[in-house]
Amino acid sequence: MLFRIRKFEKADFDTLWQIDQACFDPQLAYSRPELAFYMRRPESFTLVAEGEAGGVLGFIVAETRRKSGHIITIDVVAEARRTGVGSALLHAAEDQLLRAGTTAVALETPVNNDAAIRFYKQKGYFVEKTVAGYYSGQLDALVMTKELAQSPVKL
């Protein structure tokens, strides 16, 4: 599948929210204000995967938290999965986090999201811990982390 990774533009917002609604069960999907809140945080950024015909295939929202990066969400439309879109989005976000000076990335994913857990493990993430009731007090989360490779400092 041919696509490019680009920065989020304001006109994308409704499309991204609809993709998020389609990707997650109602208790996990963000409301519009929630998604807008996370995307507008001062240290957060959003990257979009755009197909060659111009449609949005997926997006990632990430942020820097002091020396750590945090993946807030990554969503790929069902028809474009297993074609490398998620990998390209994650790689681009990790690259941006690395350039912002972060040395590690963390994220949370539901314990029952097998596809996401396999995806993150394939990308070098390890399960650090389980947080009981992380999602609305009802569903546990795995916290997964990855060290980002830093280039040696030139002296």
Ligand X SMILES: CC(C)(COP(=O)(O)OP(=O)(O)OC[C@H]1O[C@@H](n2cnc3c(N)ncnc32)[C@H](O)[C@@H]1OP(=O)(O)O)[C@@H](O)C(=O)NCCC(=O)NCCS
Where does this chain bind ligand X (CB under 6 A)?
Answer: 23, 73-76, 81-87, 109, 113, 115-116, 118-119, 122
Asked if 104 and 137 count as a contact pair (C-beta separation under 8 A), the reply is: no
Nearer Cβ to ligand X (58/102):
58
Q: Return all residues near 115 (Cβ < 8 A) that are at least 6 apart.
A: 81
Least spacing, CB of residue 154 vs ligand X, in Å: 33
Nearer Cβ to ligand X (101/115):
115
Least spacing, CB of residue 112 vs ligand X, in Å: 10
Least spacing, CB of residue 152 vs ligand X, in Å: 29
| Separation between Cα atoms, residue 4 and residue 130, nearest integer Å | 34
Least spacing, CB of residue 86 vs ligand X, in Å: 2
Residue whose CB is nearest to ligand X in the complex, by number = 86
Nearer Cβ to ligand X (20/102):
20
Nearer Cβ to ligand X (23/35):
23
